[in-house]
A and B are shown apart, each in its own frame.
Chain A
Amino acid sequence: MDDSVHSRPRVPETLGTQTLNFTLNGEPRTLEVAPNAVLLDVLREQLGLGGTKKGCDHGQCGACTVHVDGQAMNSCLRLAVMCEGQQVTTVEGLARDGELHPVQQNFLECDAYQCGYCTPGQMMSATALLNDERIGTDDASVKEAMSGNICRCGAYKNIVEAIQRSRAQLGYDATRKEGAA
């Protein structure tokens, strides 16, 4: 084969910063961020909030799931500057006053993890789906809704058990029907 040159995508020569105002785990924050900085990297590298994990950087594994204005989102697919004026919640914001959130407590008691690396993303998706009326309350609906969060250790059975226990304890969904999705 002949000589080959693999060219690379072009990016701006100079990258300054931009001011970002947003609310993080209930606290108003103002940051200078690079325009090409991804929310996930700003959380992990600039703010030192390592609970939100990087597993693929392509929106394929769910480890980086956070809540943006209450919606579960892949923080690896969001530029930080897109969060202007928004409320961002990470796993560090789940526990209140030193008390584990019921979802965290049930993950602990059901052994709903092994290595723990996908776990923050699993819990952020779990807390969002428990509040999402579009998603049925039966196991099959939960599994379908949670399928954006890969657990390579394969602790899926215990994760679903932890979510369903949390549902019962939180008193959600009393009026919802099975299979509503």
Chain B
Amino acid sequence: MNDMTRPDFDKPRVVGQRTPRIDGEFKLTGRAGYTGELHVDGMLYGYPVPATIANGVLESLDLDAARAMPGVVDIFHHGHFEALHRSPNSMAHGDMVNEVRLPFEDERIYYHGQYVALVVAETFEQARAAAQRVVARYREERGAVVSLLQTEAEGTLQESAGSTRGDPEAAFGGAEVKVDSTYHIAAESHLQMEMHATLAEWRDAGKRLVVHESTQGVFFQRNAMARVFGLAQENLEVISHYIGSGFGNKLFMWPHSVATAVAARMIGRPVKVVLPRQQDMTSGGNRPASRQRIRLGADRSGKLTSVIHDSTTETSLVHQYVDTCGSATPSFYACDNVSTSQRVLEVNHGTPCPMRAPGEVSGIFALETAMDELAVALEMDPVELRLKNNAEQDPASGLPWSSKHLDECLTSAAKRFGWEQRNPAIGSMRDGDEIIGYGMASCTWSAGRQPCEARVELRADGSLFAACGTQDIGTGTYTIVAQAVAELTGAELSRIEVKLGETSLPAGPLSGGSMATATVLPAVAAAARDALDAIKEVAVGSGGAFEGSDPDSLAAQAGGLTDGERRVSFEEILETSKLSSVNGQGSAAPGDERSEYAFRSFGAHFVEVRIDPEISRVRVTRVVSSIDIGRAINPPTARNQVEGGIVMGVGMGLLEKLDYDPRDARLINANVADYIVPTHADAPEIDVELLDYPDFKHNEFGGRGVGEIGLTGVASAIANAIYHATGKRHRDLPITIEALLASS
């Protein structure tokens, strides 16, 4: 008898198998219902008015013309807004926000795009037209800090974001071989396809607030709004069923949500705001620019003796965001002398926020490019250098890894790529008029896990229902939850309904940090087991399908229970006992294993670039990667995320740059044509291998999460390939055509 309540997760039937997305048909037919396309009765449209300067004071707003426009209901601004409270902004207490300053809080302008008014009208066209008639008068001030990349200012040291082991300065001073390089990365835009959107509706005479928000964290949004509006959390509901992705800028609440909810309350009708793309880019988050200095010391054999990683990133004048670049560095290589430091500099930009692999992706670009420089200085193969310094245990904590296979990633990807055919001499590989460059880099992302609750129902109509207050931002969470329920109950996937993205559901985690899978599935499994216990209790009870049996003798099989001789379906059991359903509750949290092991995923990217020196054109033509993420719960969606990370890495490496006007710190390229992201034609040939080493120390499903790691290391592998092709070391991203021209 195969008891599926304790499934053999070494040989699962559904988990780890290719499973088309259960929400796929909704997305493919247009029925999915993203926030911006929702409607409720009596709904009005809001359109924010953004500041056109980046530094100064809003002296006056002339609203007469706008108010006279057809359909205008009200216009909100500093002089016409509710008195509110700021959120405590605590990660631990679940009310962190992306910008603590409330909308219209004062008349100072801190960044280009800061909202100075919100126009609300009967139709979208009317709101937009009236917003364009608002006349704002500013006193613009000199001295805007344009960018970290255009100042020598050092910024403020963040003591808690750094670490030291050994004596890295002394070790660097005495090192036989040294690299000392400084790297700059331009600010990037998330450019998630669906702009930020809020639909706010007050019910019960203004006592209860229902918010539809495109968010990666319904509970964080609810808690923050409760603090801001002084409401009991129970009187707030946040809903986010479909999210046009987020990449980090939808983790926490932004001021537009607050402005929308205030407008809805003051007018007494629901209000919807979809940020125009320009405002989404100025005011809805960015990856801050970074300046990093890396010092590596090694002996002649290539063994690292010192790693010193000093970083500075931007924050805004209205919110402190620390994009810690060095957080992977202490765990990356076996080295006794390592230090990291982090500084933050205030600039006149919209507030930066986490963006896919926040901090670490910038830090890994610098570290892995420096490692390539070290390999050149040592005249050593860069793969060999990395294998030589592979950390067999976590050097930061001293703990053994739960599971680590970086060496296999390096050798497997090198083989599939054809690395042994690489002639290390600069510019030595050619194909017609093109120079070919080969480069590589390692990649990594931490494997975290959070507490989580879930609920699973077995119903008399034969369906199963699973619920958790997390979100599916496109990573496939709906589908893996259904897979987990199918695994435990043996039920068909088509019978399993999954509900996510509501604060009325059991508390679930942010969709961020590559943590959702490892966090949610154990809670879902616990809930499914509890539901099975509940139906066993029913089955053995008076008049039940297995009346008088020992519940421990029953096991789940194919969506029913069996005693080894006879299988009765869940619906028959419930019908026999005249019940509509049974309910299982479950929760799960990380435990003692966190102090016994270190958890981190690793992998390797190998990149081919082709450069046409006549026109300074570089193309990433081929990427071969091997990544160890533990078990992929749904291999196609996991691989898709790594492939997507690689595509985003091509953008980071060659294309993406938020451009701030050096005269006044205005964002020049706040649109999808001038901020360049990879298109179909830019996407290289991609070959991703996911190693299959389930990490059961992390959780019973063996998955470690996959959202961020694919992006890390890609830009460095590209820069290293360009060095191989041209002999020019590019330490600043993006490596634009202008940068290539300057080097030729």
Contact = CB atoms under 8 A, between A and B. Distances in A.
Given A153-B474, A157-B643, A8 B135 contact: yes
B636 to A, nearest CB: 4
Given A36-B125, A114-B475, A154 B683 contact: yes
A117 B244 contact: yes
Interface in B58-78: 59, 68-70
A113 B680 contact: no
Interface string A27-62: 000000010110001001100111111111110110
Query: Interface centre among A92, A151, A154, by most B CB within 10 Å?
Result: A154
| Interface class of chain B by DSSP | loop
Contacts of A91: 28-30
A152 B132 contact: no
Contacts of A50: 30, 33-34, 36-38
B641 A11 contact: no
Bin the interface of chain A by size: 35 or more
Q: How large is the interface on B (under 10, 10 to 19, 20 to 34, 35 or more residues)?
A: 35 or more
A116 B27 CA distance: 6
Given A115-B473, A152-B247, A156-B683, A55 B193 contact: yes
A55 B195 contact: yes
A44 B29 contact: no
Contacts of B645: 154
Nearest to A91: B30
Nearest to A145: B680
Interface stretch (A118-126, A130-138, A167-175): A118-126
A123 B30 CA distance: 11
A63 interface: yes
B80 interface: no
A135 to B, nearest CB: 13
Interface stretch (B138-146, B391-399, B515-523): B138-146
A34 B30 contact: no
12 contacts: A3-B137, A55-B193, A56-B671, A58-B671, A109-B20, A111-B21, A114-B476, A115-B193, A116-B244, A123-B28, A152-B648, A154-B678
What does DSSP make chain A's interface, helix, strand, loop or mixed?
Answer: loop
Given A146-B680, A147-B680, A58 B672 contact: yes
Contacts of A92: 29-30
Given A9-B132, A111-B636, A1 B142 contact: yes
B576 to A, nearest CB: 34
A152 B193 contact: yes
Contacts of B190: 152
Given A58-B673, A159-B680, A154 B646 contact: yes
Interface in B113-144: 123-126, 129, 132-142
Given A6-B52, A154-B645, A15 B30 contact: no
A27 to B, nearest CB: 16
B277 A56 contact: yes
Given A54-B36, A58-B277, A49 B636 contact: no
10 residue pairs, one from A and one from B, having the closest CB atoms: A51-B30, A50-B37, A115-B474, A154-B647, A117-B244, A116-B27, A154-B644, A114-B474, A115-B245, A60-B672
